[in-house]
Structure 1
Amino acid sequence: TGQLTTNAGRNTACTYKGLRFVLSDAGESSIEPTPGLNTNFINAALNGSNSLWKVCTWHRNQKNLQAGGKADQVGFAPYEACRQQGAFIVNGHEHSYSRTKNLVNMVTQAVDTTVTSDANVKVVPGSTFVIVAGMGGQCCRASSAQASGAWWAAVRTSSSPIKGANGALFVTFNVGGDPKKATAYYKSTSGTILDEFVITAP
């Protein structure tokens, strides 16, 4: 927003057609065990936004919020800030695809029991989900132990029952003219849909 004083993608934010995008530098220099520079930026960028849809994105991961071999690199504070503000989170870095169920606590990966279908999720303050879409280039790595956790809605790796493949995540907002409805899917370069779900906003 306003004149950029840093590289795009490093703690920058914008609003486009009612969508609030927050791009963070979280995990690039250090882990944030408590709210720090990156978390404070996320909170400031989301606070007061009247956008119906909010998206947080950064490159690196937390071990239990990706399906592969990455260690804790971010800290949970940025994830918690986005959850509390009702923004869904998209990461990269790990060369696989994974999507959590709706979570009400990122630290413990506590699942929102009010969401009963992995194919129909929601974003509200206090409950959201995390996607890792890291197969746009190199593909694809095997699952690690945490990939069997009860908090996963979808895992696509070289060793998962449904195999991962190079591709990209697509999200369509305002589906059928409904501003509170979005559809999303991960599609491989060969045209196979490897994950598909509906998102509703409050």
Structure 2
Amino acid sequence: MTLNVTDLSIARGGLPVLEGLSFQLMPGRALILRGPNGIGKTTLLRTIAGLQPPLSGQIDGAEDQIAYAAHSDGLKPALTVTENLTFWARVFGSASITPALEAFDLTALQDRPAGALSAGQKRRLGLSRMLVTGRPIWVMDEPTVSLDTRSVTMFADAVRAHLGQGGSALIATHIDLGLDEAEVLDAGAFKARLPALDDFDEGFL
């Protein structure tokens, strides 16, 4: 499944942040989203994931094909690692959580409540949900936060395996994941122009 974004403009809090953005994400490829804090990367990912409408432009190929990992790990603290993953597997109709446990080295922690995990372990569990969705397009916002070097490598390996199976990934990160399949998209190049002063209603001045 190819994700096509054409002439997209998006807003945060009613104000345009990015405009005229176009790209194509094909199966087996990754796109690394870069740009300074506040430029609109999270807003862009939320828009592509269908969580908010764009101001204008078109997104094709996203319907029921995207798994989205935001800043929140999306875990129930009282449930064990196994119970959390099983819940998401049932939501998406996945048959087994074993590959996800193994990919993120969670097997030894499978009976531990998510609330008792360290920040890095919680992050690994949150990211492991991507493997049980069965969806080909992964959209991830700063997925390596709280991960140590070993866990970053683990995550990169999981993404690489996903790409090798014909999946694709759109990742906002400042970390070099060592993905040969990845291209870089600089969100700063699409920063929206602020309205001229004359465009504002004088009643607000």
Q: Same fold (TM over 0.5)?
A: no
- TM (normalized to structure 1)? 0.29
Q: Which has the higher contact order (CA 8 A, sep 6+)?
A: 2
Rg (Cα) greater in structure: 2
Normalised TM-score (structure 2) = 0.28
Structure in which a larger fraction of residues adopt helix? 2
Considering fraction of residues, name the structure with more strand.
1
